[in-house]
Amino acid sequence: MSKADKVMETIDDGDFSKVDGLIQESLREDDDQTQFSLAETLMSRGLSVQAKTIYQHLLVNYPTEGQILSRLAEIAVSDGDSDQALDYISQITPDSPAYAENLLVSADIYQSLGLYEVSEQKLLEGIREFPDEEVFKFALAEVYFDENKFNQALTYYDMLLDMGIKNYSGISIVLRKASSLAGDGQYEDAISEYEKLNALELNEDAQFQLGFLYNQVKNYNKSISVLENLLDTNRDYPTAYPVIAEDYLNIKKNADAFKYAQLGLNLNELDDRLYQIAFDAGTSEDANNAIKILETGIKKVENPMPLVIKLSDYYVTKGQFKANLDLLNGREINNNPKLVWNLAKSEFETDDVNKAQEDILTVLDEFKDNLDYLSDLVEILRSTGNKEVLQAALRLYLKQDPDNEQMQELLDSL
């Protein structure tokens, strides 16, 4: 029995305490081919530290051997030592039998460094030089996929599928194609690909993507069906809740939308979209509770301004102007024209007319083409008696709605 065999026997027995010593014996007693085979076996077992010892020993005797240099480069990549890895692969020449492997390893290194264009060039060279090696097509498709260049990724995934390759290295090419179509905005085609997946390939993430795509094409009932199946198997899949809650909201089943939004908030209390859906669905079911939920969201989420706007709009629409003033009191809203408009309207309705005029005029540029805003502006200016500005506001209004007799009569009277 060779020392290499003894190393593997010891590993199979689970006794790692003697492995390093036996490897040293193998380096002294076994021939080079046996040592190389041992290193390859160790690499396949994930024991790269031990394999590295052997490869480095062999490199002394075979300093230009491409396979050894390539393996050492792989190990350097996994160790996070990109400079060392690049040094190894730079020594592998195009006439080396290991050159194809060198191109793959170098592409992997450059991708890990964020140098996607260089990685892409290495893989394109591999496709040109080794046209029968599907690994280059797969690797390039994955580079494009990681870069969100989905249209380019589709070209190479389709090549693999045309070659009859539906799975590669444990990755479903059909699933990758479906995800790429979705990323490229081709939702209907993406749905068709997702529907081809078998039960094993249609994992939780794929189910979510399919449900999300049905939502995007407004097939809300199918989206609900897919996502409810997902949640039956995994209630703790947080991103499903906003989509299914929105589905129910869109088909006017507010009670179900409210329920799923609240369930989602139990998993993720920082999701501002869930607060908005809960509020939109809940106002018709339980307005007071819906308001409390939105108030909770305003306190918790990182950027509460969209929730503040929603609640402010609600208060103004319902004529709850004092509540809106309380909501906006002390908030920095100067960079949000809609909230300034809401503030001015509430000030006017609570008899703070001069302050209302001051505030509503600050957002004139943003809303000068908005008839609702101009109507509020005219009403406030009539109360303050500011005839000169009122005339200008009326002309802006009539520019948008020239047939409005009431506004024309008011302008004529001035």
Decide if pLDDT at 21 tops 90. Answer: no
Decide if pLDDT at 398 tops 80. Answer: yes
Within 10 A of 24 (CB to CB), how many other CB atoms are there? Answer: 13
Mean predicted confidence (pLDDT) in 95-100: 76
- The pLDDT assigned to 342 comes to 95
Would you call 311 exposed, middle or buried from its count of C-beta atoms within 10 A (0-12, 13-18, 19+)? buried
Mean predicted confidence (pLDDT) in 67-93: 81
- The pLDDT assigned to 23 comes to 81
% of the chain exceeding 90 in pLDDT: 51
Give the chain's end-to-end CA distance (angstroms, integer).
111
Whole-number Å distance between alpha carbons of 255 and 244: 12
Decide if pLDDT at 290 tops 80. Answer: yes
Cβ–Cβ under 8 Å, residues 294 and 307: yes
Mean predicted confidence (pLDDT) in 209-216: 95
Decide if pLDDT at 324 tops 90. Answer: yes
pLDDT in tens, 296-306: 999 999 999 99
Quote the mean pLDDT of the chain: 89
- DSSP state for residue 30 in the 8-state scheme: S
Residue 98 corresponds to which amino acid? A
The tokens describing 140, both together, are 């390039």
Decide if pLDDT at 59 tops 90. Answer: no
- The pLDDT assigned to 1 comes to 65
Mean predicted confidence (pLDDT) in 145-169: 92
Whole-number Å distance between alpha carbons of 158 and 186: 15
- The pLDDT assigned to 316 comes to 95
Mean predicted confidence (pLDDT) in 62-71: 82
Mean predicted confidence (pLDDT) in 279-286: 88
Instruction: Say which residue the tokens 């993507």 belong to.
Output: 209
Decide if pLDDT at 93 tops 80. Answer: no
Mean predicted confidence (pLDDT) in 150-162: 94
Mean predicted confidence (pLDDT) in 360-375: 92
- DSSP state for residue 268 in the 8-state scheme: -
Decide if pLDDT at 390 tops 90. Answer: no
pLDDT in tens, 106-141: 888 887 777 888 888 989 988 998 888 899 999 999
Question: pTM of the predicted model, to two decimals?
Answer: 0.71
Helices (H), 218-370: 220-233, 240-250, 254-267, 272-282, 287-300, 305-317, 321-328, 337-349, 353-361, 364-367
pLDDT band at 265 (very low <50, low <70, confident <90, very high): very high
Whole-number Å distance between alpha carbons of 345 and 204: 48
Sign of the C-alpha dihedral, residues 92, 94, 96, 101? positive
- The pLDDT assigned to 12 comes to 77
Considering only CA atoms, which of 113, 183, 101 is closest in space to residue 141? 183
- The pLDDT assigned to 101 comes to 79
- The pLDDT assigned to 99 comes to 79
- The pLDDT assigned to 183 comes to 93
Cβ–Cβ under 8 Å, residues 241 and 267: yes
Mean predicted confidence (pLDDT) in 316-326: 95
Decide if pLDDT at 221 tops 80. Answer: yes
Decide if pLDDT at 27 tops 70. Answer: yes
Tell me which of 412 and 245 has the higher pLDDT. Answer: 245
Highest mean pLDDT among 104-108, 124-128, 194-198, 339-343: 339-343
- The pLDDT assigned to 14 comes to 74
Helix axes 321-328, 337-349, angle to 10 degrees: 130
Residue 361, Ramachandran bin (φ over 0: left; ψ between -120 and 50: alpha; else beta): alpha
Render 274-287 in DSSP notation, one character per residue: HHHHHHHHHTTT-H
